[in-house]
């Protein structure tokens, strides 16, 4: 009896001990804690420095009345975004979380921006994170000097991150950005995209397994906090989809499945943000065969998307090509694989080549190997972005340069030409209003899409793992734990249905390791504004008097000139005319950078934070400017009838003006006499090309080619330990893209 009593007492003591240990662990964050928005440092920048910026620009512009050119980044993520938190984890080579305060300080003291916007993913938002984001952004603005002539303007926004399984379901990502900081001008809550990706995050994601914490106990708290981050997302209850957005409580999770529904829900709240598509041709998540055509549906209100992000850290989405990654069959649901064309090898075709080579090496005979290659091509063509999973035991190098636009300027991975900016501007929809077709009228911006709370990373080409999205396991052991051990090379493809594929969630469906050779430092949005206050910048964005750069602060002017009156209409204008137009272009190269940081950065933050936050390298301009080497004129005549082939409507380049070496820039006038003769609605924009300089991932896959230009071998730039110490620098030509000037022939 005493023995039994002793066992019971010992058991009770054990339970109490475990309970006490659990209580202690919870109270000390063992279950993970919610990270806050951080602490903003520094004070307002000196007025003399801001005045010097303005004075220098006016000396280069057309007289003292010219508008200022202000540079910003409207696409920035902190570790309030799920993927940003993942990239920050030590197992991926990250250095810990990067809150909103880090982004504010980086924009002011590291990259010296004039404006920026926070755009964390709505899908990861919670009421507490939205509240803390707003508070941090208001503090950031207060430190910058308020809204009247501040050293920097901060905008609040979120990203609507939509990913469709098929081309018919895919609409892509949009940034939603608001003018003011007060609650009455902001959405009550970020609105998520819904669909398979959102549901996987809210119902299937389980965070990191316990083995990760045990494997890297020194960083256990960070991993536990990430798991807590996921858990908090899943605990927010879903909003009632039938209730108007303005009638919902502030503590639920709101979704919009299409761009049109997103617009309607924002309208119900009586808020009027900018909604900016981005990464449109980025094939990492855009299904093969996707096109802009369905987005011209009036239900999705294409007129509300007045700007587009042409260039980001994911690449350049500008250029159209006539080749196709897959061919959609007549049923609209299945696809076949097109043959290679000059300079382009479809990845589905390469899948067949890989199987053909393996099958031949196994001695299975030509007829059988031909059959297997055909199965592989068909499997890839119908598996969307996960087509590579049909080939077991493949490596990133096996794919050579398949799927890539080899004659585009720094294109995104697996560039989709039918979702390029040029294609979108060339198409029309005639169904509802045949005499007044629906079209996109975009202004152009660049931004970073940086996920390390680093707005405006393109000022210097250094620290690839923080200034781009390159990341990956820090060792072969971690790679095996996270990705799995290499599979056996199977000489036969393994087709998978979409329903089977999407039982999996996350990056394992994509070619993430191959993608890392395409990550770049980000672009910039430049505005022509009369002053540096919030409303002036917002109005410039609204009227499309904006342009994009690949990250360097190239100065660009593009105007339509009335030769009789001298009247100037700037980039972004929409004009009714049937007379041959005359345009004037002027471009000035960016200031070359000195190493280190300027004195004002050191006055704003201590040396340790400068080293941590800016990697010890800030925007630090010299007095010498890079040269503009040429200016290219692009003309697009949107479709004038249904089914008109798009390729012939895009003249890239209509004119190429080669510039004399001049540090003061390059300018010229041009006209288009064909406009009056052809009597078609037409748009024009220009690219200003700067002299080459080393660029992170400027060589992308770094192909070794034969005499015919075919890729024989690639030399990838990995995000993980294999390329950890390299910035993968290769020469490229930085550039700026003006917003188009739209000329419409008067009706009748």
Separation in Å, CA 326 to CA 171, 289, 379, 418, 419: 18, 6, 11, 11, 14
Please give the residue that has the higher pLDDT: either 147 or 490: 490
- CA nearest neighbour of 295 among 484, 450, 130, 423: 423
Q: Is the peptide bond before 653 cis (omega within 30 degrees of 0)?
A: yes
Q: 601-613: per-residue pLDDT in tens?
A: 777 788 888 899 9
Question: What is the share, in percent, of the chain residues with pLDDT greater than 70?
Answer: 94
Rounded CA separation 378/18 (Å): 57
Asked if pLDDT for residue 2 goes beyond 60, the answer is no
Q: Is the pLDDT of residue 289 over 90?
A: yes
Query: Can you give the pTM of this predicted structure?
Result: 0.94
Stretch 380-407: mean pLDDT: 95
- Span 591-602, mean pLDDT? 89
pLDDT at residue 64, rounded to an integer: 52
Query: Which of 612, 486, 555 is CA-nearest to residue 71?
Result: 555
User: Which of 102-116, 169-183, 336-350, 503-517 has the weakest average pLDDT?
Assistant: 503-517
In this prediction, residue 502 carries a pLDDT of 67
- Residue 604 has what pLDDT? 78
d(CA 247, CA 186): 15
What is the structure's pLDDT at 732? 98
| The pLDDT of residue 62 | 59
Pairing status of strand 546-549 against strand 327-328: unpaired
**What CA–CA distance (Å, rounded) separates 137 from 312?**
23
Query: What is residue 711's predicted lDDT score, i.e. its pLDDT?
Result: 95
List pLDDT tens digits, range 645-699. 999 999 999 999 999 999 999 999 999 999 999 999 999 999 999 999 999 999 9
**Is the model's pLDDT at 25 over the cut of 60?**
no
Contact 623, 594 (CB under 8 A): no
Q: Residue 570 pLDDT more than 50?
A: yes
At 20 the pLDDT is: 35
pLDDT at 53 (0 to 100): 73
Pick from 112-121, 181-190, 217-226, 439-448: least confident: 217-226
Residues 451/102, Cβ–Cβ less than 8 Å:
no
Checking if the pLDDT of 575 tops 70, the result is yes
Tokens at 638, concatenated: 């949107």
Average pLDDT over residues 47-69: 74
The mean pLDDT value for 353-364 works out to 96
21: helix, coil or strand?
A: helix
Return the sign of the alpha-carbon dihedral for residues 261, 267, 271, 275.
positive
Report the DSSP pairing between strands 307-312 and 443-446: parallel
Model confidence at 27, pLDDT cuts 50, 70, 90, reads: very low
Confidence of residue 505 (pLDDT cuts 50, 70, 90): low
| Per-domain residue ranges of the chain | 1-30, 39-321+408-470+519-553
Q: How confident is the model at residue 117 (pLDDT cuts 50, 70, 90)?
A: very high
Please tell me the predicted confidence (pLDDT) of residue 636. 98
**Quick check: 19 pLDDT over 70?**
no
Asked whether 260 and 160 are in contact (CB, 8 A), the reply is: no
Quick one: average pLDDT of 541-563?
A: 97
Task: Let me know: does 660 contact 628? Beta carbons within 8 Å.
Answer: no
The C-alpha atoms of residue 504 and residue 507 are separated, in whole angstroms, by 9
Read off the pLDDT of residues 184-223 as tens digits, 9 standing for 90 and up.
999 999 999 987 778 888 888 888 888 888 888 999 999 9
Mean pLDDT computed over 108-134: 97
What's the CATH number for 39-321+408-470+519-553? 3.20.20.140
Q: Are 387 and 494 in contact (CB under 8 A)?
A: no
Q: Tell me the C-alpha distance between 505 and 86, whole Å.
A: 14
């Amino acid at each position: 009896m005493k023995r039994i009593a002793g066992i019971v007492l010992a058991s009770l003591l054990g339970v109490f001990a475990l309970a006490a240990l659990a209580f202690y662990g919870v109270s000390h964050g063992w279950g993970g804690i919610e990270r806050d928005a951080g602490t903003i440092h520094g004070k307002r920048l000196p007025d003399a420095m801001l005045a010097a910026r303005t004075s220098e620009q006016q000396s280069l512009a057309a007289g003292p009345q010219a508008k200022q050119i202000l540079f910003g980044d409207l696409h920035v993520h902190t570790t309030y975004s799920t993927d940003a938190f993942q990239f920050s984890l030590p197992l991926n080579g990250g250095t810990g979380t990067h809150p909103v305060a880090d982004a504010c300080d980086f924009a002011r003291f590291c990259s010296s921006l004039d404006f920026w916007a926070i755009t964390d993913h709505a899908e990861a938002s919670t009421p507490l994170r939205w509240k803390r984001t707003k508070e941090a952004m208001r503090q950031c603005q207060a430190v910058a000097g308020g809204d009247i002539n501040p050293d920097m303007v901060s905008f609040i926004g979120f990203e609507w991150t939509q990913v469709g399984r098929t081309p018919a379901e895919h609409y892509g990502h949009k940034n939603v950005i608001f003018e003011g900081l007060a609650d009455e001008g902001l959405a009550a809550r970020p609105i998520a995209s819904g669909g398979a990706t959102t549901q996987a995050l809210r119902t299937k994601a389980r965070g990191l397994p316990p083995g990760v914490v045990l494997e890297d106990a020194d960083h256990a708290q960070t991993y536990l906090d990430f798991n807590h981050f996921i858990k908090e997302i899943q605990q927010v209850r879903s909003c009632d989809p039938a209730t108007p957005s303005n009638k919902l409580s502030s503590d639920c999770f709101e979704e919009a499945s299409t761009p049109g529904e997103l617009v309607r829900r924002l309208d119900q709240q009586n808020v009027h943000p900018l909604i900016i598509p981005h990464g449109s041709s980025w094939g990492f998540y855009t299904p093969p065969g996707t096109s802009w055509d369905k987005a011209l549906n009036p239900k999705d209100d294409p007129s509300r998307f007045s700007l587009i992000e042409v260039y980001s850290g994911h690449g350049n989405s500008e250029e159209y090509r006539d080749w196709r990654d897959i061919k959609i069959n007549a049923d609209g649901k299945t696809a076949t694989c097109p043959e290679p064309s000059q300079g382009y090898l479809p990845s589905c075709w390469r899948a067949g080549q890989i199987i053909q080579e393996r099958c031949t090496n196994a001695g299975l005979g030509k007829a059988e190997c031909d059959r297997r290659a055909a199965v592989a091509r068909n499997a890839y063509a119908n598996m969307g972005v996960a087509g590579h999973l049909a080939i077991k035991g493949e490596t990133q190098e096996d794919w050579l340069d398949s799927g890539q636009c080899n004659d585009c300027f720094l294109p995104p991975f697996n560039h989709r030409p039918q979702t390029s900016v040029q294609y979108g501007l060339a198409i029309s929809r005639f169904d509802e209003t045949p005499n007044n077709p629906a079209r996109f009228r975009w202004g152009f911006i660049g931004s970073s899409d940086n996920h390390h709370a680093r707005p405006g990373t393109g000022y210097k080409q250094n620290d690839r793992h923080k200034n781009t999205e390159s990341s990956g396991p820090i060792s072969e052991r971690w790679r095996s734990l996270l990705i799995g051990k290499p599979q056996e090379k199977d000489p036969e493809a393994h087709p998978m249905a979409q329903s089977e594929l999407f039982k999996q969630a996350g990056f394992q469906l994509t070619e993430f390791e191959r993608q890392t050779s395409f990550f770049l430092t980000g672009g910039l949005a430049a505005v022509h504004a009369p002053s540096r206050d919030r409303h002036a910048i917002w109005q410039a964005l609204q009227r499309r008097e904006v342009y994009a750069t690949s990250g360097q602060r190239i100065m660009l002017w593009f105007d339509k000139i009335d030769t009789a009156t001298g009247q100037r209409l700037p980039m972004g204008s929409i004009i009714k005319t049937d007379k041959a137009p005359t345009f004037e272009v002027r471009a000035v190269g960016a200031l070359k950078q000195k190493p280190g940081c300027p004195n004002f950065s050191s006055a704003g933050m201590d040396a340790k934070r400068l080293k941590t936050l800016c990697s010890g390298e800030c925007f630090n301009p010299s007095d010498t400017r890079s040269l503009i080497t040429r200016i290219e004129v692009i003309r697009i005549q949107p479709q004038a009838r249904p089914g008109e082939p798009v390729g012939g409507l895009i003249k890239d380049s209509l004119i190429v003006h080669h510039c004399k070496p001049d540090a003061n820039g390059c300018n010229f006038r041009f006209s288009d006499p064909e406009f009056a003769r052809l009597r078609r609605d037409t748009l024009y924009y220009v690219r200003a090309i700067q002299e080459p300089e080393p660029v992170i991932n400027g060589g992308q896959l770094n192909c070794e080619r034969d005499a015919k230009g075919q890729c024989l071998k690639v030399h990838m730039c990995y995000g993980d330990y294999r390329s950890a110490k390299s910035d993968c620098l290769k020469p490229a030509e930085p550039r700026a893209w003006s917003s188009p000037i739209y000329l419409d022939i008067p009706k009748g």
